[in-house]
Amino acid sequence: MRHKQAFAASAMLLGLAVLGGTAGAQEAFDYQFSTPGTLTETRRSSDSPSPYWWLRSGGRLLVGGGTGTTITGDLPENDPLRAKYAAAAPKTTDGGRHPQNSFRLFTKSKWKNSIQSIEVELLAANLSEPANRHAFNGVSLVSRYDESDANYYVATLRMDGKAVIKKKSGDNFYTLVEKTFLPGTYSRDGNYNLLTINKPFRLRLETGETAAGQTALKFWVDRERDGNWQLAADVVDNGRVGGAALVAAGANGVLSDFMDVRWDNYQVAGVATVTPPAPVKEPETPSTPKEPTAPAEQAPEPTPSGNPLAGKKLYVNPNSDGRRQAEAWRSSRPADAAIMEKLGNVAIGSWFGDWNSNVESDARNLVLAASREGAVPLLVAYNIPQRDCGSYSAGGANNPEGYRSWINNLARGIGNGEAVVILEPDALAGMTCLSEADQAARMELLKYAVGALKANPKTYVYVDAGNANWVPAGEMASRLKRADIARADGFAVNVSNFYETARNVSYGEAVSKETGGKHFIIDTSRNGAGSPGGEWCNPGGRALGQTSTTNTGNRLVDAFYWVKPPGQSDGTCNGGPSAGVWWPEYALELAKRAGW
């Protein structure tokens, strides 16, 4: 694809990153447990020394090495916490030896509607006394916690293999839904723990509102940390069980019972609504709930236009090449600096590939930086094996296994955040350089990537479809179908190329007609003067095109976007540096010729 970019994330304190601190629909929170320290439990949240967390019970949270851990093993006899718990809860904590048996960690920030997730690794099950072997023990996510009355929602993956969502109201817990999720047969005295030990997995809880204003909850599990989120349980609380639904904003958090646990990568994203399950008969009593029918996974409700990007603010990277160059020229070349500002004030794509030493961290930094601005970033996944058929941007993952691992890491970096992803420029259009076996393998990888990324319904995936002068629309539509375009949000055209917008619209409409009306994105970064006879590698006389926008005037075109950062070389051709290297003089010429 004539492109390679070393992504430079904006500076931020990832270890303790908090975006927003009060209830709302858009605030985000990210905690990576990267700052070593110990948080000791306190009676009230106001007494907690952490600006982010309140440990209500469990003794201590130990943070270090990029993870947070409960107390592990037995407390020493001379530890004051042991005496405290021996007196207050001797049975629950094995005579005070295991305060971690009742671990309660809450955020100080509050949300009404949110999507939160956590990575969990169980280190031990503390079942030294047979009386403590309890099917209800497990790990949980909590939402809408009210410190004043200790009411909250809790979603638990239990040791007996069941996924349960409960409401605590007053002094009682009310089961809203309970479903068998994990394989295996639970036995109190034999097979008493169906959860995996020393194998991390991920939990996600969505708390929101239906269109009718009822509280809806969805509980998900990613057992292999590969982006394959499985819906474990979901329910709408209409107030018929356990009294009125909890509607006020409250803390989120994590709980664990009778376990030593390691925590990592805790994230919260705001969300406006949660699509409810299909209508079902409600539970008649708290003790004998009837399970609702589990719905298929659903994305957020589409906008009336069918464009998932409609009304979104597109992220402008404050550290883009254009902005840095304008600043560098401010004193020595003020006129050129003013022209270069054209590049610095437009949303552009951030490319991810084999040059990223930690793609998960880099993606997370970008998504969080955009979230701070209330904006959506554009990521370009560009790491398919045998990339660019050995041309200027040759490279990519070494093998299919490496690619699947890489795409999983990219998906983990995006997490629950909102992002647009252009998937593998040239992978479909340029696949004829491969053998039939390798073409089939590439299709499977693209299908896998679509699935991994779309596990987060707020990741909007557009599979690259070449350009208007490369592959006929009918053939491209056939390739897109094999790459699972049905599950993606659409496709992208003209990435890193120069063809006029009108020509790309016509091509995209033809492809859309053959793919069930799929929408598309057009790369307009350098097409302001069209394509000079099909030349694609640093051609002269070109100009910047339409700036990035979702206001396209065409119901099928979701965005005009600067997918290729203008000014980055296509390769060592026409006097240019290596692919992806910033070439300021070429960028300046593009900006000078722009018609805006």
Q: Which of 388, 464, 484, 523 is catalytic?
A: 388
**Separation of alpha carbons 378 and 417, rounded Å:** 12
CA 95 vs CA 69, 86, 123, 365: distances in Å: 21, 5, 20, 44
CB 107 within 8 A of CB 79: no
Query: Does residue 329 sit within a domain?
Result: yes
Query: Does residue 288 sit within a domain?
Result: no
CATH number at residue 421: 3.20.20.40
Q: For the chain, how many structural domains are there in total?
A: 2
Of 84-98, 146-160, 295-309, 358-372, least confident by mean pLDDT is 295-309
**Separation of alpha carbons 226 and 189, rounded Å:** 33
Per the listing, tokens 């003020």 go with: 334
pLDDT of residue 60: 95
SS3 for 301-370 is CCCCCCCCCCCCCECCCCCCHHHHHHHHCCCCCHHHHHHHHHHHCCCECEEECCCCCCHHHHHHHHHHHH
CATH number at residue 67: 2.60.120.560
Mean pLDDT of 225-245: 90
Residue among 316, 186, 205, 317 nearest 255 (CA): 205
Is the backbone of residue 129 left (phi > 0), alpha (psi -120 to 50) or beta? beta
The DSSP 8-state label assigned to residue 381 in this structure reads: E
Are 238 and 378 members of one domain?
no
Asked if 426 is an active-site residue, the reply is yes
- Go through 410-438 and write b for each residue having 16 or more CB atoms within 10 A of its CB, e for each that does not: bbbbbbbbbbbbbbbbbbbbbbeebeeee
**Of all residues in the chain, what percent carry a pLDDT higher than 90?**
55
* H-helix or E-strand spanning residue 585: helix 584-593
Domain end call among 230, 253, 270? 270
β-pair partners for 259: 125
> Residue 514: CB partners within 8 Å, gap ≥ 6?
473, 474, 477, 478
3-state secondary structure of 293: coil
pLDDT score of 410 more than 60: yes
Are 265 and 330 members of one domain?
no
**Of all residues in the chain, what percent carry a pLDDT higher than 70?**
86
Are 229 and 366 members of one domain?
no
Are 184 and 250 members of one domain?
yes
Residue among 221, 262, 257, 224 nearest 66 (CA): 262
Beta-carbon count within 10 A of 203 CB: 23
pLDDT score of 489 more than 70: yes
SS3 for 177-210 is EEEECCCCCCCCCCCCCCCCECCCEEEEEEEEEC
Of 104-108, 178-182, 573-577, least confident by mean pLDDT is 573-577
Identity of the amino acid at 69: T
Query: Does residue 295 sit within a domain?
Result: no
Domain end call among 247, 270, 293? 270
The per-residue pLDDT for range 247-270, each reduced to its tens digit, is: 999 999 999 998 899 999 898 876
**Separation of alpha carbons 135 and 162, rounded Å:** 9
Query: Does residue 287 sit within a domain?
Result: no
Query: Does residue 496 sit within a domain?
Result: yes
CB 182 within 8 A of CB 195: yes
pLDDT of residue 423: 98
* H-helix or E-strand spanning residue 510: helix 501-514
pLDDT score of 155 more than 60: yes
The per-residue pLDDT for range 294-308, each reduced to its tens digit, is: 333 333 333 335 899
Q: Which of 426, 464, 489, 523 is catalytic?
A: 426
**Separation of alpha carbons 376 and 399, rounded Å:** 31
Q: Which alpha helices (DSSP H) does 64-207 contain, by range?
A: 80-88
Are 325 and 182 members of one domain?
no
Res. 7 pLDDT band, cuts 50 70 90: very low
Query: Does residue 412 sit within a domain?
Result: yes
Q: Would you tell me the crossing angle of helices 584-593 and 321-328 to the nearest 10 degrees? A: 100
CB 232 within 8 A of CB 181: yes
Rg (CA), the chain: 26
- Go through 556-588 and write b for each residue having 16 or more CB atoms within 10 A of its CB, e for each that does not: bbbbbbbbbbbbbbbbeeeebeebbbbbbebbb
Are 151 and 42 members of one domain?
yes
Asked if 388 is an active-site residue, the reply is yes
CB 39 within 8 A of CB 55: yes
Are 262 and 325 members of one domain?
no
Q: Which structural domain range is residue 383 located in?
A: 321-593
Q: Pick the residue with more confidence: 367 or 26?
A: 367
Q: Which of 321, 484, 558, 570 is catalytic?
A: 570
The per-residue pLDDT for range 379-396, each reduced to its tens digit, is: 999 999 998 776 666 789
Query: Does residue 411 sit within a domain?
Result: yes
Phi, psi of 322 (to 5 degrees): -60, -45
Mean pLDDT of 522-544: 83
pLDDT score of 8 more than 50: no
pLDDT of residue 303: 39
Instruction: Indicate the pairing of strand 16-19 with strand 28-31.
Output: antiparallel
pLDDT of residue 376: 97
Is the backbone of residue 122 left (phi > 0), alpha (psi -120 to 50) or beta? beta
Of 67-76, 128-137, 463-472, 522-531, least confident by mean pLDDT is 128-137
Mean pLDDT of the residues in the chain:
84
Mean pLDDT of 372-384: 96
Alpha carbon 563 to its chain's center: 20
CB 206 within 8 A of CB 176: no
Is the backbone of residue 21 left (phi > 0), alpha (psi -120 to 50) or beta? alpha
pLDDT score of 435 more than 90: yes
Residue among 42, 174, 189 nearest 129 (CA): 189
Asked if 189 is an active-site residue, the reply is no
Beta-carbon count within 10 A of 47 CB: 10
Identity of the amino acid at 567: G
3-state secondary structure of 282: coil
Domain end call among 255, 270, 285? 270
pLDDT of residue 572: 80
Query: Does residue 11 sit within a domain?
Result: no
Are 473 and 557 members of one domain?
yes
pLDDT of residue 312: 94
pLDDT score of 346 more than 90: yes
Per the listing, tokens 């664990």 go with: 256
pLDDT of residue 569: 79
Alpha carbon 462 to its chain's center: 16
The per-residue pLDDT for range 108-133, each reduced to its tens digit, is: 999 998 999 999 999 988 765 544 45
The per-residue pLDDT for range 73-100, each reduced to its tens digit, is: 899 989 999 999 989 888 888 889 999 9
The tokens of 499 are what?
């063809």
Are 259 and 325 members of one domain?
no
CB 56 within 8 A of CB 64: no
Mean pLDDT of 131-147: 82
Identity of the amino acid at 34: S
pLDDT score of 406 more than 60: yes
Q: Would you tell me the crossing angle of helices 321-328 and 334-344 to the nearest 10 degrees? A: 160
**Separation of alpha carbons 367 and 101, rounded Å:** 35
pLDDT of residue 411: 95
